[in-house]
Structure 1
Amino acid sequence: MIKLVLLILINSLFIMNLNSQTKWEWSHPKGTGNDLFGFDFADDMTGYACGYLGNVIKTTDGGQNWFALNTGVKHWLFEVKCINKDTVIIVGQGSSIRTTNGGLNWNTFTISSSPLYDIYFLDNKTGFVAGEVGRVYKTTNSGWNWLQLAQASSSLLLRCYFYNEQIGMLTGRNCVYLTSNGGQSWNLQSIPYEPIENVEGLQIVDTNFICVVKNLEKKFYLTTNQGINWISYSFNLPNEGSGGDIPRGLYFKNKDSGLIITDLGRILKTTNGGVNWNLTYTTLNMYKIHKQNSKIRIAGKGGTMAYLDSNFNNLTVQSGGINSLNDMCVVNENVIYACGDRGDIMKTTNQGMSWLKLNSGNTTRLNGISFINENTGYVVGDSGLFYKTTNGGNNWNSVNNISGRILLRVHFFNENEGVVTGRGMLLLKTSNGGLSFDTNYSEVDFSGFTGLRFYNDLTGFASSARIFRTTNGGNNWALVGMNATGSGQDISILDSNRLISVSSIFIYRSSNMGVNWVRYDPPGDYFFSTCDYTLNGNLFMGSSQGRIYKSIDNGETVERYDTTFTNQSLSKIRFANANTGFIVGGNGIILKTTNGGLTSISSNNQVLNYYNINIFPNPVNPTSVLEVNLNKTQNLNIILYDITGREIRKIITGNLPAGVNRISLNLTSFSSGVYFCVVKSGDISLASKKIVKLN
């Protein structure tokens, strides 16, 4: 009997040792937290997804686990086609790429001199690609050779779809084209557009049911006579965000039942051919939707991979799916909490090997989080939200509501005393666990304190366009810096004298515990949003452009890490000790280092070592075989940990020869549940995956 249903250890694990030293790596999601624009599955188990800056991830267990592949390119990749589980073609902004060995190696090749945005195959031989300046190409030999078809004017083409070799459709910037002669000519359809509007959702259900949805106008367009006439039906999308919501894709399983997915997580369903649409909400930010075998799969922002069943129900998120994280609290090196948009709260108890999404009980944006121990913590957010937990986040209760206020940060010293900041330069203090607050500073000002750090129970700082200091636990605050003499989005304290604050392109330093501040503009192209000292005095900073910086001399000189790693904004960086640190940010990403970030992310594209690891059967009940396939003799430690991060057993220690190594596993004495198989080189963790033990 299965005692616990959990994710299964990935069957084939590629580990790329990019440098002899550990780096910043993805803690959540595991494969990538960058935006994913396209995907394809070769069968029910093996699939690939692609996205920002050359990112490609792969699954061999139906999407339960995803791992990163090294493509060797850094341009955006837009769509994937699996010829089979080993041979894959991906098109994008630069050269197209191909693998014939399951992603171990990738080769670049050229189809067009212009970017290509979509690829569509009728079968494993015949396919089409489309891109800029109206260019369309066709292959009849699985992508090894391509013939350019008639050009669709000079339009920007974003999607292509073929019903058969004769009937096809192109959509893009202010255009929908149809062909009935295999692309020898294209007919521009008479559909109205906003001045600049993309058409990203399209499908030919059959020759009498061809449909599209545009980005800006909230209408579904349908032709039942191959483009002679188009009918439109309106649908409702509530306004949200500065630019509103955007329809991104559609899928119909027949002429009656269809879906539209949107940028901000809405799913619209119709059961009468698009005449009426019913709106449902998700927490996903979605780009692409396809039917893949028995599932309706979705890809999106922040490494999101999810699926619906064939009846458009039971949304299951397999990767990503978390909204932007705004703040983080490191309780100790094992237990970390983070909070973010739409009420999202994340927790790890095993140093980031796995993360659990907690139920906050609301969908309000959460801006600040503070824990006084592993169990008791507080979150604050928009609309005056102030919640408390006493059982490690399993339950959250509203303690107070500070009406009409946007609360930004929170810090509690103990269960009674705490400080909260908010918009309007708000500084609040409570001495009764948040039941009531004293307002110690406030202005009629839209800005608020996003930096809040305490050196001890008495001395602390709040920063925004100004820096305030308290020496009595937040009961009183004094202005110690303003504009050129002190400001900051985040603040960090090194010792009893030295502090640092970062704000946009500037670093502000104090050498007398915040009494005076000196502004410093380090040479180079920087834009800081968060900062933190490690326990050994190294300074790390992050930016809203996804960049990571390090300084070993208190900001005098700044080293910029690989700038082509992530497109997500970095909201908060915090270190648990000299080596272990985390960064949270846009679309729910969490980055981690375990040695103080000694090397940059993806600083070397060369794959030095190759590991192919299998455990079968998995789940384990009670015996199994660990198979390790190496390209050369390597010194490895493979260790089993429980879900709390406690070492349970050393499976392998020492040199393993090149080739296939098989090790018997007997877990008879283990309780049912989830364990982590961690691959190490020395003290450096190279990878960790889950394994399930059954009774």
Structure 2
Amino acid sequence: MKIKFHKICFVLLAVFISFGTQLLSQVNSPWKWVHPTPQGNTLRYVKTFNATTHYALGYSGTFLKTTNSGTNWFISTNVFGTQENNQIYAYSGWFFDQNVGLAGGETGKLARTTNGGLTWDTITTGETGIIYGMHFLNANTGFFSTSTGGNIRKTTNGGLNWTAISTGASVALYSVFALNPDTIYVSATLGNIRYTTNGGTNWTIVSTGASSTLYDIKFKDAMTGWVCGSSTAIRVTTNGGLNWTQTSTGLPTSTFYNINYASGVTDADYVYVSGNSFYAFRSSNYGTTWDSVSLAGTQTYVSTQYSLDRNGNNMSSVGAFGLINTSTNAGANWTAHNSLGYSGTLNDVWCDNMSGRVIAVGSAAQYPIIVSTNGGSTWNFGVSANVTGTYYGIKMLNSSTGYAVGTTSKLAKTTNGGMNWDTSTVYSTATTMYNLDFANTSTGYISGASGRIFKTTNAGANWELQTTGITNTLYNIDMHDANTGWFVGTTGTIRKTTDGGSTWTAQTPGTTSSLYDVQMFDANTGYLCGLSGTVRKTTNGGTNWDTVAVPFTASLYMLSFSDVNTGFIAGATGLTYRTSNGGSVWQVLNTSGSTTNGIYAKGYDSAFAVASSAGVFKLYNPLTGGITWQNQIPEKFTLEQNYPNPFNPVTTIKFGLPKAAKVTLKVYDILGREVSILFNNTDINAGTIAYDFDGSELASGIYFYSLIVNNNKIDTKKMVMVK
């Protein structure tokens, strides 16, 4: 029901799609991607080692790898630590071999792996901007560039320590390339590059002749190099960057993000640029002319390609929505490894059972309603080919009959479980309608913009506008029966009717923040949620709404309770909460995807969630554990001894916060090396937090864990891992 951004993709085919079997190992989240698969976070970096082995990095701290040509995928989203209520995107990377590599991301975050991405150690960089670019001369000496401050950083020990080098101006630097330790190039905005020939003591600014942002810079040798960026800003130099010539023969108007120079291959001395949705482009004459390389292969949808790599005849390309395609014959043919069949924002979801029918609604990309009949294993993307516009809410009365509402007063109805939809117009004035509820098979209500509530008493054949007395946007409505119900909306709006909508009485939720959802279990008991972590509960029909404390202040968009005590709340940046005792204790379960707009729970261990960027997630019989927050407020900051101790492989670390604070919780080995980040300067509300730490990737031995609150160390304790 929320309006979120969505990226436009280009459709090649939109019908029933069943993809080849992919064995997915999603290691650190109980939520599993069921669309797209193997995962849907945007990928910004790719490395090809050989015909079977490819690594990628992307949004939400995603690391993705295959060692058998895509038959199996290892997926982790803890490159920069565990996802809680915030997510750190990876924008750059560098792998020295299949074991050792680096990932650069937002807020100056840098992580290093020495075991092929199974675990990552955080490295302090001293930067606060996005690490956009990275380049190494060898296993020791390398550089990265950032979005703020105009600095690059240099390492001489493989990325363990970094020294700042100022380029002389506070500008965003999108890419860095070094010919040697003294000769370094960076690309920036306004079509400019900067270079130094004395290791950064002095810098020269050179205009490439474009006015665009330059996203990448690469050199073949000391003389020949290229830049690429927005508005087809591709330029070539043949004199070490002193002068640049536009080269666009054979190129479409597009933004290009990545340059790859493939030296020493057998077919030609190619340079590639990527960024276009359909093609990469290559030149065999160093940029004078360009030929297209079709990347789509068997891909149903295509979108922006952010990174391309070539190693011999083996190639890979990655992009938005987790797109990843590979080739083993120098790009002549491509295999798609991502099952993207829908490219819009999904707003609401319903399921019959966890292995049966699932229906999700969202923006029209290509069509606004998608259906699975086998618990998300395969999807039918063409069931709503006759339906136009964006849809925000769905209400199924049973496994066959249901309704969906959306923009321009449009209503869609199905009587065969979502396989066909008939559309009608609810109101003559175009109105965005956000959600609906039915008290019985005949009587239903719709909530929408401009304070409008619509009512039907004949199963949707006709709708009447009701008088609410307000013009606020009304995001959700919940009817206990044909007479009694509630709606919620902007500026803390909540109203109740006891006469079938003829009159609506204002209630006081104790907040002026937007309220996005309300769910009542009977005439007395229910919950609502909204902006900035707002959760309220009533036990007297809304006469009073009591605050329900939650761990974080992230906005919450939808509730789904299977009974009065057991349920989920979904919200921003992939956040979901789960409770089994009416909100006294919450478990944090981040999907590691984008903003979670809708959720539908069948029970404590069974739910589907949908998100922006086409994400559908499934939680089904997950392992217990993770992060649990309880509204028990201690008198002071405390860190308890883990239990059990010794442990193998899971132990619980508990700490208490007397007030809201920024929390960091880290694990170190006996040499003081950081081995895991459990919380990373995370805003957490007052309460008692239990973190189930999984040490299965650690060797037996002594470890220490430290709690840091508001940059002050509270305590450090010892624990022992025994395998």
- Pairing of 1:84-483 with structure 2 (within 5 A): 84-92=97-105, 93-100=108-115, 102-106=116-120, 116-120=131-135, 128-132=142-146, 133-135=150-152, 137=154, 143=158, 152-153=167-168, 156-161=172-177, 169-172=185-188, 176-177=192-193, 187-190=204-207, 199-202=214-217, 210-214=226-230, 218=231, 220-226=233-239, 227-230=241-244, 247=255, 249-250=257-258, 261=275, 286=304, 288-292=306-310, 295=315, 297-300=317-320, 303-305=322-324, 316=336, 318=338, 322-334=343-355, 335-342=357-364, 343-352=367-376, 357-358=381-382, 360-361=384-385, 364-400=389-425, 402=427, 404-411=430-437, 418-431=444-457, 434-441=460-467, 445=471, 447-456=472-481, 459-465=484-490, 466-470=493-497, 476=502, 478-481=504-507
User: Does the CA contact (< 8 Å) of 2:593 and 2:611 recur in 1?
Assistant: no
In structure 2, the partner of 1:78 is: 91
Counterpart of 1:104 in 2: which secondary structure? coil
- Pairing of 1:472-511 with structure 2 (within 5 A): 476=502, 478-481=504-507, 484=510, 488-504=515-531, 505-511=533-539
User: Does the CA contact (< 8 Å) of 1:409 and 1:420 recur in 2?
Assistant: yes
Cα separation, partners in 2 of 1:506 and 1:88, compared to 1, 3 Å: closer
User: Does the CA contact (< 8 Å) of 2:59 and 2:89 recur in 1?
Assistant: yes
AA in 2 matched with 1:341? S
Deviates more, 1:587-596 or 1:42-51: 587-596
Separation (CA, whole Å) in 2 of partners of 1:258 and 1:111: 31
Q: Percent identity?
A: 20
In structure 2, the partner of 1:680 is: none
Separation (CA, whole Å) in 2 of partners of 1:554 and 1:442: 31
Counterpart of 1:489 in 2: which secondary structure? strand
Separation (CA, whole Å) in 2 of partners of 1:439 and 1:111: 59
Separation (CA, whole Å) in 2 of partners of 1:266 and 1:477: 55
In structure 1, the partner of 2:615 is: 589
Does 2:576 align with 1:548? yes
In structure 1, the partner of 2:649 is: 608
User: Does the CA contact (< 8 Å) of 2:585 and 2:628 recur in 1?
Assistant: no
AA in 2 matched with 1:299? G
Per-residue deviation at 1:157?
2.9
Per-residue deviation at 1:424?
1.4
Name which of 539, 552, 558 aligns with 1:530: 558
Separation (CA, whole Å) in 2 of partners of 1:395 and 1:107: 50
User: Does the CA contact (< 8 Å) of 2:196 and 2:204 recur in 1?
Assistant: no
Cα separation, partners in 2 of 1:295 and 1:408, compared to 1, 3 Å: farther
Give CA-to-partner distance per residue, 1:86-144, whole Å, 9 cap, x none. 444434433431234x333445567887874333468x8698432245325487x9x58
Size of the aligned set, in residue pairs, is: 573
Cα separation, partners in 2 of 1:165 and 1:493, compared to 1, 3 Å: same
Counterpart of 1:367 in 2: which secondary structure? strand
In structure 1, the partner of 2:49 is: 42
Of structures 1 and 2, the one scoring higher in RCO (CA 8 A, sep 6+) is: 1
User: Does the CA contact (< 8 Å) of 1:25 and 1:601 recur in 2?
Assistant: no
Per-residue deviation at 1:498?
0.5
Counterpart of 2:474 in 1: which secondary structure? coil
Separation (CA, whole Å) in 1 of partners of 2:409 and 2:344: 20
| TM-score, normalisation: structure 1 | 0.65
Separation (CA, whole Å) in 2 of partners of 1:70 and 1:607: 23
Counterpart of 1:424 in 2: which secondary structure? helix
Separation (CA, whole Å) in 2 of partners of 1:457 and 1:46: 59
Cα separation, partners in 2 of 1:255 and 1:367, compared to 1, 3 Å: farther
Per-residue deviation at 1:491?
1.0
Per-residue deviation at 1:426?
1.9
User: Does the CA contact (< 8 Å) of 1:417 and 1:429 recur in 2?
Assistant: yes
Cα separation, partners in 2 of 1:597 and 1:65, compared to 1, 3 Å: closer
Mark the runs of 5 or more structure 1 residues left unpaired by the alignment: 236-244, 610-695
Separation (CA, whole Å) in 1 of partners of 2:456 and 2:213: 51
Cα separation, partners in 2 of 1:167 and 1:276, compared to 1, 3 Å: farther
Mark the runs of 5 or more structure 2 residues left unpaired by the alignment: 1-16, 82-87, 262-267, 630-641, 651-723
Separation (CA, whole Å) in 1 of partners of 2:224 and 2:363: 43
